[in-house]
Amino acid sequence: MTKRPSWDIKCLLPENKDAYKVLKEAFIDRKHIKPLEALLGIDSTGKIRTYDLTTAPHLFTAGTTGSGVNVGLNMIYLSMMLHSLPEDVQLIVIDPTEVEFKAYNDSPFMYADVVTDVEKTVKVFEYLVGEMENRLSLFDELKVLDLETYNTKVSPDEKKPYLVLIVEEISDLMVEHGDKIAECMSRLRQKARSAGILTHINTHVPRPEIIKENLVANFPSRLVYKVDNSSQSKLVLGEGGAEFLLGKGDSYIKSAESERLVRVQSIFLSDDEISSIIDSTVKKFPDEKYYSRIKF
């Protein structure tokens, strides 16, 4: 039986700490931070929750308008930018809405400019499949099994970054290119993790006629915000309950390694704060090499 949430999200933010401070302080006392460790938010006990995304190489997120899903996604990726190096982490963003991730174009962590043309999205997925195969061939030559080990055996110029594909509103793409994207995702799920390639897709309209179960099955880790009804919750979370979430960043995280749901409240960042974080990365990494991007 699904339990209705009983706690108030207002109590989750520690006293005298605004959201920006929580974001900056999440890793401040940590000596060994993994490149893809990200801030999820604050759990029901008031504890700051982080998550190593290498354990969730294929992450499905969903939430209706007003649920806070985009706020949560911004927090995840911006928190990585605060403690990682562009040599270690590069993002590829598909955003047909041309709104949510526009500011990311200025970041040194971008592998390519934000892709807004739906017709180019299949090229992105095909590129990643090809990159995965190329990397695995290099790994075979050195007799290594994963990116982390590979990078310890090659020169700095030969090292490969983690590539994180972020898709804002996958439903738009599925309408146009659903079969091809599903095919690419099936191939990526099998071997992309060891190649250091992660895929994170999001939707605001988790309707089964658009978001097919075989697509969702490729994403064993889920981050789900408030949805409209129990059917949507069962589709994206695997069980009911997300329809009772409170909105504005209230979410469930379900990892591939555990069936247990963890309730987390995302931290709200204003547009000015997002711009401020990205500006700080530009100042931190001014070298032109960080702004040479591939074209799709």
Query: Rounded to 5 degrees, what angle do the CA atoms 185, 188, 189 make?
Result: 85
Give the per-residue pLDDT at 28: 67
- The neighbour count for residue 2, using CB atoms within 10 Å, is 12
- The closest alpha carbon to 250, from 80, 75, 69, 73, belongs to 69
**Cβ-contact 69, 202 below 8 angstroms:** yes
Give the per-residue pLDDT at 15: 43
Give the per-residue pLDDT at 29: 62
- The neighbour count for residue 82, using CB atoms within 10 Å, is 18
- H or E segment and range at residue 43: strand 37-43
Give the per-residue pLDDT at 7: 37
Query: CA 263 to CA 261: how far, in whole Å?
Result: 6
* Range 136-166 burial, b when 16+ CB lie within 10 A, else e: beebeeeebeebeebbeeeeeeeebbbbbbb
**Cβ-contact 265, 12 below 8 angstroms:** yes
Token pair, residue 248, equals 């504005």
pTM of the model: 0.89
Tens digit of pLDDT at every position of the chain (296 positions): 334 333 343 434 444 345 556 666 677 666 678 889 888 888 888 888 888 888 888 899 999 988 999 888 998 999 899 889 999 999 999 998 888 898 999 999 999 999 999 889 999 999 999 999 999 999 999 999 999 999 999 999 999 999 999 999 888 888 888 889 888 988 998 889 999 999 999 999 888 877 877 778 788 889 999 999 999 999 888 889 999 998 888 999 988 777 788 899 888 788 888 888 899 999 999 999 999 999 98
- The neighbour count for residue 80, using CB atoms within 10 Å, is 24
DSSP label at 110? B
Q: Describe the chain by its helix, strand, coil percentages, rounded to 5.
A: 45, 20, 40
